[in-house]
Copies of this chain bind each other. A is one copy, B any other.
Amino acid sequence: MIAPALEALDILRTRTLASLAGEAIERLIVDGELKAGEHLNELALAARLGISRGPIREAIRGLERGGLVVTVVNQGSFVRKISAGEAHELYEVRIALTGYACAHLAQHATTDQIKILRDLIKRMSAAQAARDAADYYTGNLEFHARLMDFGGNRRAVRICDELGQELNLFRRRSLVSPEGMKASNAEHADIVRAIAAGDVARAREAGEAHIRRGMDRFEASTPRPETDAAHKNGDRTAKG
């Protein structure tokens, strides 16, 4: 199969090739086709997408700012390889934002919003019963997005979304076992209960604990600490 080139969408023309290329490369990275640490060959990417190197380079700059790739001069760009420590940092930011959003919701949530959250929990419960990991995954994604959207706001949603993408550079999709789904969804229910009860402190605690438990599960399941971290394509904010 010769590359689902961008020419297929050429009819639209409502967006620049750089933006389309950016999304295409982003997909290649999050889907794992471009693995962590791998080199991004501009010419190859341009050929694959059927465009020239200009838009490719522009797209890579965006990904660079987004933290998906790192660039070294005269050597090119590489898919960012984040360390366990960096992953921990990302998780902590999510913990902070989720906890705050839950606390905020406990004070300001409407009955409609709570109903939406409860419906999502039901949907995930059904997915878990059906062993449908994919459906649970999307439901979980929407649940957390709703949580942030209701409480924090759109910007917080975007930040969490980007953090999730970066985390996918470390863990290849959070594989959830049936038991894991059940436990995770029980935590979701805890969160919504606290929110519905208007218990600010408990809502925050439940929200934080949920993410933190996911972090713990993830860090416990990681084969090796992978202390090599920085390598040569380390973050430019390198320290120590």
Contact = CB atoms under 8 A, between A and B. Distances in A.
Interface in A20-73: 22, 54, 57-59, 61-66, 71, 73
Given A57-B58, A58-B57, A65-B62, A154 B89 contact: yes
What does DSSP make chain A's interface, helix, strand, loop or mixed?
Answer: helix
A15 interface: yes
B158 A237 contact: yes
A16 interface: yes
A141 B155 CA distance: 22
A156 B61 contact: no
A14 interface: yes
Interface string A194-210: 00000001000000000
Contacts of A224: none
Contact of A155 (B54, B58, B61, B86): B86
A116 interface: no
Contacts of A62: 61-62, 64-65
Contacts of A73: 13-16
B89 A95 contact: no
A92 B26 CA distance: 28
Interface stretch (A1-9, A96-104, A130-138): A96-104
Given A62-B62, A86-B155, A16 B71 contact: yes
B97 A152 contact: no
Contacts of A99: 96, 100
Contacts of A92: 100, 104, 152-153, 156
Interface in A158-217: 158-159, 201
Given A88-B153, A96-B156, A201-B201, 20 more contacts: A13-B73, A15-B73, A22-B61, A54-B54, A54-B57, A61-B65, A63-B65, A65-B65, A65-B66, A86-B155, A89-B152, A89-B154, A92-B100, A92-B156, A93-B152, A96-B97, A96-B101, A99-B100, A154-B237, A154-B239
